[in-house]
Amino acid sequence: MNPIELGPIEIARGVHWIGALDPDLREFDIILKTANGTTYNAYCVRGSDGVAVIDTVKENRAADFFARLEQVAAYDEIKAIVLNHLEPDHTGALPELMRRAPNARLYISIKAQIMLKGLLKSEELVYTPARTGDTVSLGDRHLRFLHTPFLHWPDTQCTWLEEDGILFSGDVFGCHYCDPRLFNDKVGDFRFSFEYYYQHIMRPFREHVLDALELIEPLALNLIAPAHGPILRDAPANYVRRYRQLAEPTLYNEAGGHAKTLLVFYLSSYGNTARMAQAVRDGAEAIDGVRVSVYDLQGGEVAPFVDLVEEADGIVFGSPTINGDAVKPVWDLLSSLTMVNVKEKLGAAFGSYGWSGEAVTMLEDRMRGLKLRVPVKGVRVKLIPTEAELSLCHAFGRDLALHLTGQATRKVITMEELNRSQTHA
């Protein structure tokens, strides 16, 4: 079927899908692959006292959206426009919709207000900020808001149609998968896309997913209407359960939460950084309550290490400096950590070098950029570590363990302090 010919689809009595299909898209936001394109789902809810439009579509699909909307409602009937999320794939048609529907009031989450001004470039916007529990009456139907921030932007919320048990969930429970048959019991197998979307979009905000599930799990769900991908009318609670599973820790923690976990990742050309890694390990292990693990990045894949880091309390990178840089496998792992939440984990770096030794500082900077705390200045050793230098590494490991166990005065080294110390060295 030509996607443009698809009309509005009734998903419940008086509730229509009026979104847009984008079957040829292969990359979303530069970072996500999609073998099946995507959909920008928007919905129209008719009540006895007015109509609500929930979300819009990407700007280049606005014509499809308006064509579908006009088949189920007149613009002057629209009393509420709800935006669950302000990213442009859902707000591209908003300015034009507000122009065409002058009687409509705009509802956004309390955290979306600044973004809305940035999006519409106007200080004179009229809107209602919504909190969890706030409602909009359409007469015989009511929309209730659930504040679900950081899924996956600070502004995100879900909207619950009380009388029908429909959750308009925004990006949550969505995926990039376009199939004009629309419903999860009709479309092809989209499980891989659902999981991929979770891993890349929701996983970094795992704690917020768990908070949102506390609000969503008690709902008597008849249907989940996400902003992308299939509409989940068959067994919607299964998708909520799957989110719960995905948001729980990936790995069984043998330390049982009693010990702090410190991971030491290293690479070594001539065994020098490896010897430093062993000394760091020995130093950290000297402190009770810390479980230290050492991994040679040369022998590992990135994905399981990312799982390990997600559960760890601290990570230490050992890298030689080659051509003024840390080595690629270290950067590969660091760049993959954007998939998980590493904020406030302890970070540190060390390494042997030949003549310049920039790697340690570069790694520390990157970890600060990822919002790790870097409380102990890294250790750099020129070429082969002496016994005295290995003792420094041992003390460095010990310091890290003391910070992890809360026995050291917490001190986060700032960029200014770091620059000062390097200038005076």
- Using CB under 6 A as the criterion, which residues of the chain lie in contact with ligand FEO when the complex forms? 85, 87, 89-90, 152, 171, 227-228
Please state the closest distance from residue 121 (CB atom) to ligand FEO, in A. 20
Please state the closest distance from residue 16 (CB atom) to ligand FEO, in A. 20
Give the span between the Cα atoms of 188 and 169, in whole angstroms.
21
Please state the closest distance from residue 173 (CB atom) to ligand FEO, in A. 12
Residue from 372, 348, 334, 352 nearest 284 by CA: 348
Residue from 168, 231, 222 nearest 194 by CA: 231
Please state the closest distance from residue 271 (CB atom) to ligand FEO, in A. 47
Provide the 10 A C-beta neighbour count for residue 73: 21
Written as one letter, the residue type at 168 is: F
Tokens standing for 131?
């909190």
Please state the closest distance from residue 352 (CB atom) to ligand FEO, in A. 43
Residues with Cβ within 8 Å of residue 386, at least 6 apart in sequence: none
Q: Is 169 left (phi over 0), alpha (psi -120 to 50) or beta?
A: alpha
Written as one letter, the residue type at 122 is: S
Q: Residue 56 or 268: which CB sits closer to ligand FEO?
A: 56
Please state the closest distance from residue 228 (CB atom) to ligand FEO, in A. 6
Residue from 361, 358, 316, 353 nearest 334 by CA: 316
Q: Residue 90 or 260: which CB sits closer to ligand FEO?
A: 90
Check if the beta carbon of residue 49 is closer than 8 Å to that of residue 142: no
Please state the closest distance from residue 313 (CB atom) to ligand FEO, in A. 30
Residue from 154, 22, 115, 7 nearest 71 by CA: 7
Beta bridge pairs of residue 266: 296, 318
